[in-house]
Amino acid sequence: MSGERSRTDRTTLLARNDLVFIDFDGTISVTDTGIAVIDALELDEAWEIEHQWRRGEIDSMECLTRQWGMVDLARGAVYRMIDSFELDEGFNELAEAAIQIGAGLVVVSDGLDFYVDRMLGRLGWETCPGEEVIKRPRRCIPRFANHGRVTDHGVEISFPHRSPDCDQCGNCKTAHLQRLRAHFSRVIYIGDGHSDLCAARFADLVFAKDALAEDFAQSGRPFVNFETLAEVNEVLLAPRTR
Ligand SMILES: [Mg+2]
Ligand SMILES: [Zn+2]
Protein backbone atom coordinates (compact mmCIF):
# COMPACT_ATOMS: atom_id res chain seq x y z
CA MET A 1 0.00 0.00 0.00
CA SER A 2 1.11 3.56 -0.51
CA GLY A 3 -0.03 6.99 0.52
CA GLU A 4 -1.37 7.57 -2.99
CA ARG A 5 -4.95 6.54 -3.54
CA SER A 6 -7.08 7.10 -6.59
CA ARG A 7 -10.21 9.19 -6.19
CA THR A 8 -12.24 6.46 -7.82
CA ASP A 9 -10.87 3.66 -5.64
CA ARG A 10 -13.98 2.01 -4.23
CA THR A 11 -12.14 0.81 -1.12
CA THR A 12 -11.66 4.35 0.14
CA LEU A 13 -15.30 5.35 -0.19
CA LEU A 14 -17.18 5.95 3.02
CA ALA A 15 -19.57 3.07 3.67
CA ARG A 16 -22.23 2.06 6.14
CA ASN A 17 -20.53 0.46 9.16
CA ASP A 18 -17.47 2.67 8.82
CA LEU A 19 -16.50 4.67 11.87
CA VAL A 20 -14.99 8.09 11.17
CA PHE A 21 -12.79 9.35 14.00
CA ILE A 22 -12.10 13.03 13.51
CA ASP A 23 -9.86 15.26 15.58
CA PHE A 24 -11.08 18.78 16.36
CA ASP A 25 -8.19 21.20 16.89
CA GLY A 26 -6.31 21.95 13.68
CA THR A 27 -8.54 19.49 11.81
CA ILE A 28 -12.09 20.95 12.08
CA SER A 29 -10.84 24.22 13.56
CA VAL A 30 -8.24 25.69 11.22
CA THR A 31 -5.75 26.37 14.02
CA ASP A 32 -5.34 24.49 17.29
CA THR A 33 -7.63 26.34 19.73
CA GLY A 34 -5.27 26.03 22.70
CA ILE A 35 -2.38 27.40 20.65
CA ALA A 36 -4.58 30.17 19.23
CA VAL A 37 -5.51 31.20 22.79
CA ILE A 38 -1.85 31.18 23.86
CA ASP A 39 -0.93 33.33 20.86
CA ALA A 40 -3.87 35.71 21.21
CA LEU A 41 -3.04 36.35 24.89
CA GLU A 42 0.74 36.26 24.30
CA LEU A 43 1.20 33.61 26.99
CA ASP A 44 4.83 32.86 26.21
CA GLU A 45 5.28 30.58 29.25
CA ALA A 46 2.47 28.39 27.95
CA TRP A 47 4.65 27.53 24.96
CA GLU A 48 7.24 25.99 27.28
CA ILE A 49 4.49 23.82 28.78
CA GLU A 50 3.37 22.87 25.27
CA HIS A 51 6.89 21.72 24.37
CA GLN A 52 7.19 19.73 27.61
CA TRP A 53 4.04 17.85 26.63
CA ARG A 54 5.17 17.27 23.05
CA ARG A 55 8.46 15.87 24.37
CA GLY A 56 6.48 13.51 26.61
CA GLU A 57 7.74 15.05 29.85
CA ILE A 58 4.27 15.87 31.17
CA ASP A 59 0.85 14.39 30.33
CA SER A 60 -1.86 16.28 28.47
CA MET A 61 -3.87 16.83 31.66
CA GLU A 62 -1.03 18.72 33.33
CA CYS A 63 -0.42 20.59 30.08
CA LEU A 64 -4.04 21.69 29.68
CA THR A 65 -4.55 22.53 33.35
CA ARG A 66 -1.43 24.71 33.52
CA GLN A 67 -2.06 26.43 30.18
CA TRP A 68 -5.73 27.23 30.78
CA GLY A 69 -4.81 28.26 34.34
CA MET A 70 -3.01 31.22 32.77
CA VAL A 71 -6.17 32.40 31.01
CA ASP A 72 -7.61 35.01 33.34
CA LEU A 73 -10.49 36.33 31.28
CA ALA A 74 -14.14 37.12 31.91
CA ARG A 75 -16.72 34.85 30.29
CA GLY A 76 -17.62 37.22 27.44
CA ALA A 77 -13.96 37.69 26.50
CA VAL A 78 -13.41 33.91 26.36
CA TYR A 79 -16.42 33.45 24.07
CA ARG A 80 -15.48 36.39 21.86
CA MET A 81 -12.03 34.91 21.36
CA ILE A 82 -13.41 31.42 20.59
CA ASP A 83 -15.89 32.95 18.14
CA SER A 84 -13.06 34.62 16.22
CA PHE A 85 -11.34 31.33 15.33
CA GLU A 86 -11.81 29.94 11.83
CA LEU A 87 -13.42 26.57 11.01
CA ASP A 88 -13.03 24.22 8.03
CA GLU A 89 -16.53 24.23 6.58
CA GLY A 90 -15.77 21.03 4.66
CA PHE A 91 -16.80 19.34 7.91
CA ASN A 92 -20.47 19.92 7.06
CA GLU A 93 -20.34 17.91 3.84
CA LEU A 94 -18.52 15.07 5.60
CA ALA A 95 -20.94 14.96 8.55
CA GLU A 96 -24.01 15.15 6.31
CA ALA A 97 -22.66 12.36 4.10
CA ALA A 98 -21.94 10.16 7.14
CA ILE A 99 -25.55 10.61 8.29
CA GLN A 100 -26.93 9.90 4.82
CA ILE A 101 -24.77 6.79 4.37
CA GLY A 102 -25.34 5.50 7.90
CA ALA A 103 -21.68 5.60 8.89
CA GLY A 104 -20.62 6.57 12.40
CA LEU A 105 -18.82 9.87 12.89
CA VAL A 106 -17.35 10.95 16.21
CA VAL A 107 -15.29 14.02 17.07
CA VAL A 108 -12.43 13.17 19.43
CA SER A 109 -10.59 16.02 21.10
CA ASP A 110 -7.95 16.25 23.78
CA GLY A 111 -9.08 19.88 23.97
CA LEU A 112 -12.18 21.16 25.77
CA ASP A 113 -15.88 20.47 25.23
CA PHE A 114 -17.11 24.05 25.71
CA TYR A 115 -15.32 25.35 22.65
CA VAL A 116 -15.87 22.19 20.57
CA ASP A 117 -19.62 22.55 21.24
CA ARG A 118 -19.65 26.27 20.60
CA MET A 119 -17.66 26.07 17.37
CA LEU A 120 -19.63 23.10 15.98
CA GLY A 121 -22.71 25.15 16.89
CA ARG A 122 -21.46 27.87 14.56
CA LEU A 123 -21.50 25.27 11.78
CA GLY A 124 -25.12 24.51 12.70
CA TRP A 125 -24.62 21.31 14.72
CA GLU A 126 -25.65 20.25 18.17
CA THR A 127 -23.35 17.82 19.94
CA CYS A 128 -24.13 14.75 22.03
CA PRO A 129 -22.06 12.31 24.15
CA GLY A 130 -19.46 10.39 22.13
CA GLU A 131 -20.91 7.00 23.05
CA GLU A 132 -24.00 7.82 20.99
CA VAL A 133 -22.01 7.27 17.79
CA ILE A 134 -22.97 3.59 17.90
CA LYS A 135 -26.62 4.66 17.40
CA ARG A 136 -25.71 6.77 14.31
CA PRO A 137 -27.63 9.85 15.53
CA ARG A 138 -29.03 11.98 12.72
CA ARG A 139 -29.34 15.31 14.50
CA CYS A 140 -26.23 15.66 16.63
CA ILE A 141 -22.49 15.18 16.38
CA PRO A 142 -21.19 12.74 19.00
CA ARG A 143 -18.02 14.04 20.64
CA PHE A 144 -15.51 13.09 23.29
CA ALA A 145 -13.51 15.95 24.86
CA ASN A 146 -12.21 17.07 28.21
CA HIS A 147 -14.61 19.20 30.24
CA GLY A 148 -14.07 22.94 30.46
CA ARG A 149 -16.34 25.12 32.59
CA VAL A 150 -16.19 28.80 31.74
CA THR A 151 -16.27 30.88 34.94
CA ASP A 152 -15.90 34.61 35.58
CA HIS A 153 -12.15 34.14 36.08
CA GLY A 154 -11.21 31.75 33.34
CA VAL A 155 -11.85 28.10 32.57
CA GLU A 156 -11.95 25.19 35.05
CA ILE A 157 -10.96 21.84 33.60
CA SER A 158 -11.78 18.24 34.46
CA PHE A 159 -11.17 14.92 32.74
CA PRO A 160 -14.25 12.69 32.53
CA HIS A 161 -12.70 10.34 29.92
CA ARG A 162 -9.42 9.39 31.61
CA SER A 163 -8.33 5.90 30.70
CA PRO A 164 -6.75 3.68 33.37
CA ASP A 165 -4.59 2.19 30.59
CA CYS A 166 -3.09 5.47 29.45
CA ASP A 167 -0.91 7.87 31.43
CA GLN A 168 -0.48 10.39 28.60
CA CYS A 169 -3.93 11.66 27.63
CA GLY A 170 -6.81 13.41 29.40
CA ASN A 171 -9.18 12.07 26.75
CA CYS A 172 -7.52 8.92 25.42
CA LYS A 173 -8.41 8.60 21.72
CA THR A 174 -6.84 5.15 21.53
CA ALA A 175 -9.07 3.83 24.31
CA HIS A 176 -12.18 5.17 22.53
CA LEU A 177 -11.09 3.68 19.22
CA GLN A 178 -10.34 0.25 20.66
CA ARG A 179 -13.66 0.15 22.52
CA LEU A 180 -15.88 1.44 19.69
CA ARG A 181 -14.37 -0.49 16.79
CA ALA A 182 -16.29 -3.63 17.75
CA HIS A 183 -19.46 -1.88 16.55
CA PHE A 184 -18.07 -1.07 13.09
CA SER A 185 -16.22 -2.85 10.31
CA ARG A 186 -13.59 -0.20 9.56
CA VAL A 187 -12.10 2.81 11.31
CA ILE A 188 -11.16 5.93 9.32
CA TYR A 189 -9.02 8.48 11.14
CA ILE A 190 -8.67 12.17 10.27
CA GLY A 191 -6.21 14.22 12.28
CA ASP A 192 -3.23 16.51 12.44
CA GLY A 193 -1.28 16.40 15.66
CA HIS A 194 0.48 14.91 18.63
CA SER A 195 -2.71 13.77 20.35
CA ASP A 196 -3.52 11.65 17.26
CA LEU A 197 -0.18 9.82 16.93
CA CYS A 198 -1.12 6.83 19.05
CA ALA A 199 -4.77 6.26 18.08
CA ALA A 200 -4.27 6.74 14.33
CA ARG A 201 -1.93 3.73 14.25
CA PHE A 202 -4.91 1.51 15.05
CA ALA A 203 -7.09 2.85 12.23
CA ASP A 204 -7.60 1.15 8.86
CA LEU A 205 -7.43 4.31 6.74
CA VAL A 206 -5.70 7.50 7.87
CA PHE A 207 -5.98 11.07 6.59
CA ALA A 208 -3.15 13.12 8.07
CA LYS A 209 -1.57 16.54 7.97
CA ASP A 210 1.16 18.37 9.88
CA ALA A 211 2.72 16.46 12.80
CA LEU A 212 0.59 13.35 12.23
CA ALA A 213 1.58 13.21 8.54
CA GLU A 214 5.27 13.67 9.43
CA ASP A 215 5.08 10.85 11.96
CA PHE A 216 3.36 8.46 9.53
CA ALA A 217 5.78 9.35 6.72
CA GLN A 218 8.79 8.80 8.97
CA SER A 219 7.58 5.42 10.17
CA GLY A 220 6.58 4.30 6.65
CA ARG A 221 2.89 3.90 7.46
CA PRO A 222 0.36 4.47 4.68
CA PHE A 223 -1.80 7.60 4.87
CA VAL A 224 -3.55 10.13 2.68
CA ASN A 225 -2.17 13.62 3.05
CA PHE A 226 -4.65 16.50 3.25
CA GLU A 227 -4.74 20.20 3.99
CA THR A 228 -8.49 20.86 4.02
CA LEU A 229 -11.49 18.63 4.70
CA ALA A 230 -12.68 19.30 1.13
CA GLU A 231 -9.68 17.19 0.05
CA VAL A 232 -10.72 14.41 2.45
CA ASN A 233 -14.25 14.56 1.02
CA GLU A 234 -12.84 14.23 -2.52
CA VAL A 235 -11.35 10.85 -1.61
CA LEU A 236 -13.98 9.58 0.81
CA LEU A 237 -17.26 10.61 -0.82
CA ALA A 238 -18.54 9.37 -4.17
CA PRO A 239 -19.82 12.05 -6.54
CA ARG A 240 -23.43 10.89 -5.98
CA THR A 241 -23.29 11.82 -2.29
CA ARG A 242 -21.55 15.14 -2.92
MG1 LIG B 1 -5.41 18.39 16.39
ZN1 LIG C 1 -3.94 7.75 25.48
Tell me what the pLDDT averaged over the chain comes to: 92
**33 Cα–ligand 1 center, Å:** 9
Question: Nearest bound ligand to CA 172?
Answer: 2
Q: How far apart are CA 210 and CA 18, in angstroms?
A: 24
For the chain, what are the domain ranges? 10-31+87-241
pLDDT over threshold 70, residue 9: no
**171 Cα–ligand 2 center, Å:** 7
The correct answer on CATH 3.40.640.10 for the domain covering 10-31+87-241 is no
**168 Cα–ligand 2 center, Å:** 5
**80 Cα–ligand 2 center, Å:** 31
* Three-class SS state of 216: helix
pLDDT in tens, 32-52: 998 898 888 899 999 999 999
**74 Cα–ligand 2 center, Å:** 32
* Three-class SS state of 181: helix
Rounded to 5 degrees, φ, ψ at 148 are -120, 125
Name the pTM for this structure: 0.92
